[in-house]
């Protein structure tokens, strides 16, 4: 375990600017609508900002205010943040991000959890926060090419928490891919976990639906099928043909931006105006991490190794105390009855606002849900 600082080589940043300056724009690049995907006009505006106004060094310095480390676990180099809590007995909490975001998406949330008394909370609710980059994302190396992404990641994160950091028991929160990893920790290492907290039921639970759904569950399953037909093409490509897509996105920063930014708009509670939820600096910090670390291809691995849990109703029930927080505009917000088929649900909170990127969109609400759920489990 060694201290680590973000320090992208200047040559990489110079090459990025050169590629942005030489983007080959399509003929209709002034079109403003998002009907066919990313708005060509907005993409051009964002690329211009990336080229002329975005200051990576400023964002790098902001992120370097956290305590970063790297360590090798079972041959995989992992990057993680480890921020100590300010309180009488901080609870160790592992945070798992998803795709297409990164560890940086927790930058607003971390201070709310480590120092709640400074942000309207109680000192006794403080957490020691651990934020790894998923393997193959950001500054973490990819996993070996065979085996289960969720299983291998969960085993390494467990070793990070128990052996490297010395927490015999800890809490875990996940969203998106991070929810799959968190769920796998609860399945494989239940005695380590004080509690499991997620922003929704992992989508793998949809693949074998219940035979006796309630009317509410039936409506949810129908909406989920419709969403998959309309919005899940990205997942099929990333899972089925990743080697066709990845080279294009790794070679073109504008192409990378088009692929990722559309998800931030579609999956957030922005009512069509992306920058009501995210600043350009936030969007481009995330994009620059993917670009500079050349990890867009390896970030597709969870999609073609998508085996988060044994599928269907025969999957083991998770008895670890589980809490959910649902934001109204997230992708597939499940009803509580559906979640209770698979989890020992002890906490359920729904918010009328917010979308898929809760730590960026609604950090205060997410922090409050985490504090409330884990308070009796400390």
- What is residue 314's predicted lDDT score, i.e. its pLDDT? 54
> Is 68 known to be catalytic?
no
pLDDT at 315: 65
Catalytic-role residue among 303, 343, 347, 351: 303
Active site residue 101: no
Are 152 and 144 spatial neighbours (Cβ–Cβ below 8 Å)?
yes
Res 143: pLDDT:
95
Q: What is the dihedral of CA 116, 130, 364, 224, to 10 degrees?
A: -150
pLDDT score of 308: 45
Q: What is the pLDDT of residue 124?
A: 97
- Residue 211 has what pLDDT? 87
Among residues 101, 125, 176, 269, the one annotated as catalytic is 176
Which tokens sit at 195?
């509690």
Give me the helices (H) in the chain, please.
10-21, 40-52, 56-63, 109-114, 149-159, 177-188, 215-231, 233-240, 242-251, 253-266, 280-293, 301-304, 336-340, 358-361, 363-374
Q: Which two tokens stand for residue 76?
A: 């995989």
Q: Which domains, from first to last, does the chain contain?
A: 2-377 (3.40.50.1820)
User: What would the pLDDT profile of 250-293 be if each residue is shown by its tens digit?
Assistant: 999 999 999 999 999 999 999 999 999 999 999 999 999 999 99
Quick one: pLDDT at residue 311?
Answer: 47
Catalytic (active site) residue 303: yes
Q: Return the pLDDT at 3.
A: 98
Residue 376 phi/psi, 5-degree rounding, is -75, -5
Q: pLDDT below 50 — which residues of the chain?
A: 308-313
Q: Is 299 left (phi over 0), alpha (psi -120 to 50) or beta?
A: alpha
The pTM is what? 0.96
Cβ 181 vs Cβ 135: under 8 Å: no
- CA 163, 168, 172 angle in degrees (round to 5)? 95
Of 209, 174, 168, whose CA–CA distance to 189 is shortest?
A: 168
């Amino acid at each position: 375990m060694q201290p680590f600082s973000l320090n992208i080589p200047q040559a990489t940043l110079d090459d990025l600017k050169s590629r942005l300056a030489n983007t080959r724009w399509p003929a209709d690049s002034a079109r403003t609508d998002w009907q066919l995907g990313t708005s060509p006009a907005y993409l051009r505006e964002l690329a211009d900002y990336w080229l002329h106004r975005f200051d990576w060094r400023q964002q790098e310095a902001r992120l370097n205010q956290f305590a970063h480390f790297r360590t090798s676990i079972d041959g995989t180099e992992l990057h993680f943040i480890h921020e100590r809590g300010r309180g009488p007995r901080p609870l160790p909490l592992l945070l798992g991000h998803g795709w297409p975001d990164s560890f940086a998406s927790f930058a607003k949330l971390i201070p709310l959890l480590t120092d709640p008394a400074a942000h309207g909370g109680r000192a006794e609710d403080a957490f020691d926060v651990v934020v790894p980059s998923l393997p193959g994302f950001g500054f973490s190396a990819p996993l070996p090419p065979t085996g289960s992404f969720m299983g291998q990641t969960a085993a390494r994160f467990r070793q990070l928490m128990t052996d490297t950091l010395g927490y015999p028991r800890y809490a875990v929160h996940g969203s998106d891919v991070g929810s799959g990893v968190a769920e796998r920790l609860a399945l494989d290492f239940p005695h380590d976990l004080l509690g499991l907290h997620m922003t929704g039921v992992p989508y793998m639970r949809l693949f074998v639906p219940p035979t006796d759904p309630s009317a509410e569950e039936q409506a949810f399953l129908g909406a989920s099928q419709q969403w998959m037909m309309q919005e899940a093409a990205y997942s099929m490509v990333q899972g089925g043909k990743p080697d066709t897509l990845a080279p294009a996105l790794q070679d073109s920063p504008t192409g990378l931006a088009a692929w990722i930014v559309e998800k931030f708009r579609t999956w957030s509670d922005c009512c069509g105006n992306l920058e009501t939820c995210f600043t350009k600096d936030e969007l481009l910090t995330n994009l620059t991490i993917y670009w500079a670390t050349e990890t867009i291809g390896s970030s597709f691995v969870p999609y073609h190794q998508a085996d988060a849990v044994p599928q269907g109703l025969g999957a083991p029930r998770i008895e670890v105390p589980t809490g959910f927080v649902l934001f109204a505009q997230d992708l597939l917000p499940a009803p509580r009855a559906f979640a209770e088929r698979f989890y020992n649900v002890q906490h359920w909170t729904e918010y009328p606002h917010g979308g898929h990127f809760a730590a960026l969109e609604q950090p205060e609400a997410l922090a409050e849900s985490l504090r409330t759920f884990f308070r009796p489990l400390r």
